[in-house]
Chains A and B, each alone.
Chain A
């Protein structure tokens, strides 16, 4: 059994031969092709690149961050002035050839599609204005999200055809470290209907639906499961992950579990701290099954430092050996 066959058993809620670790079992694509964070975009000045919508991203501080204070949209009522990308016009064969050239089929292929409905609203009009718009102009926000869902569905269809991934990861950061940004009711009324269309398109195109939401979003986990989400990523430890496993363990897998806000997430975390975190994740999550472990060490898109490589090595060794000891 290879890593892919083993992890697919987890997604099907069957017992795997070993508890998989994300870095070993997943082959990630999409970060280059969809240019949602400017990684493939035009450089407008030093370390600043444009994404597909024309939003400026700062590249000089680890993971790309939208340039603060420089927004394309002041009033949500003018969202129709924004030029949306047209995925069908992109050269998908070339992008897939480039991203899949080293893929040998032994790992699960995951297409990572950044910037969901709410993310995109915040990048176009700034965080505070976006959140206020949810309350002040709910109908226009909903219309905007519907247009974003149309764009995402077109992208999903292109991805399914040209990449044929096992998993499509749709990202939308709806939460901060201790709660949702907006009330669950606001999510349900304004965002969820469009979110549901996107998840339905992923499933209709034969892919596993993975939802990326950072922060504590367990208040809407029932909603995620209801619309068909099958994997919750990166499932940060501030959520009641054991409770989610207990309630939804036959429908949803937990991908993550690392306490990135705790001592193990500090840049200078020592090996004892990292090992303790690995043992906690086995004890609290891996034993319940339907679990894909993912340590969050280092930043996406940034080269790992020698210390981070050492932390990652220690984590994986401790996690694997504890799982073996427990027969999971």
Chain B
């Protein structure tokens, strides 16, 4: 198995400790850092697909994301200053009135693993706070709003409306247990993802890098 194939396999199976050594060995063998990163991103794409299809469950996806993160830590000093490592910044939060962070955290991990720079605003995020975060951060290409409760769906609508009023061209993706594609379209969101696994694919599609 080549160095890069080994790294990919270790990410996919969530072997955090081993992946650090494997990434270092790949670098020592002369494999470019960008190639290793691309390999890990591809592995996370497979993980996301397997999760969406029900082949694997949340724990398997989480340990894969953790392994990816450990591998990226090894690459970071080498890739510092490179502008090719990120698709851009994504602002994410759970909407006002909703304290549920599980789904939001999973999406943050998957988007980060797929190449976005993530700014996590946490839970109970007001519509105005999303707008402020877009203003305060560089190269924001996407805003992701999550909501678990049917009772906070109006807050999801308000968030999309407020973000779009301030930044008409900003892409906004929504998700959460009660959200449907129809509801996402109705409230003016650009995209919807049914689960964390497919969120990365949809996010890249929205910003035109899929």
Contacts and interface: CB of A to CB of B under 8 A. Distances in A.
Contact of B177 (A135, A177, A183): A177
A301 interface: no
B153 A266 contact: yes
Interface string A133-165: 011100000000000000000000000000000
B62 A128 contact: yes
A267 B99 contact: no
Contacts of B62: 128, 131-132
Interface stretch (B100-108, B110-118, B128-136): B100-108
Interface in B62-121: 62-63, 66, 97-102, 105-106, 109
A61 interface: yes
Contacts, number: 71
A65 B98 CA distance: 10
Contacts of B149: 62
Nearest to B99: A65
A178 B66 CA distance: 24
A32 interface: no
A280 B195 CA distance: 27
A183 B150 contact: no
A261 interface: yes
B124 A266 contact: no
Contacts of A206: none
Contact of A261 (B57, B98, B124, B177): B177
B58 A178 contact: no
B59 interface: yes
B99 A135 contact: no
Given A58-B99, A65-B100, A131-B59, A179 B150 contact: no
Of listed B58, B123, B194, residue having the most chain A CB within 10 A: B58
B178 A265 contact: yes
Q: Is the interface of B mostly helix, strand, loop or mixed?
A: loop
A77 B164 CA distance: 47
Interface residues of B, number: 31
B100 A183 contact: no
Interface string B19-58: 0000000000000000000000000000000000010111
A180 B60 CA distance: 13
A180 B57 contact: yes
A304 interface: no
B122 interface: yes
B57 A186 contact: yes
A186 B14 CA distance: 16
Nearest to A67: B99
Interface string A53-71: 0000010011001011100
B154 interface: yes
B137 interface: no
A301 B66 CA distance: 36
A127 B177 contact: no
A179 B57 contact: yes
B151 interface: yes
Given A62-B151, A68-B99, A135 B59 contact: yes
Nearest to A62: B151
A205 interface: no
Contacts of A186: 57, 59
B98 A178 contact: no
B150 A267 contact: yes
Interface of B: 14, 54, 56-60, 62-63, 66, 97-102, 105-106, 109, 122-124, 149-151, 153-154, 177-178, 194-195
6 contacts: A65-B100, A68-B123, A127-B101, A131-B59, A183-B59, A261-B177
The 6 closest A-B pairs by CB, nearest first: A131-B59, A177-B177, A65-B99, A68-B101, A127-B102, A183-B57
Given A61-B97, A135-B59, A183-B57, 6 more contacts: A62-B149, A68-B99, A181-B59, A183-B59, A266-B150, A267-B153
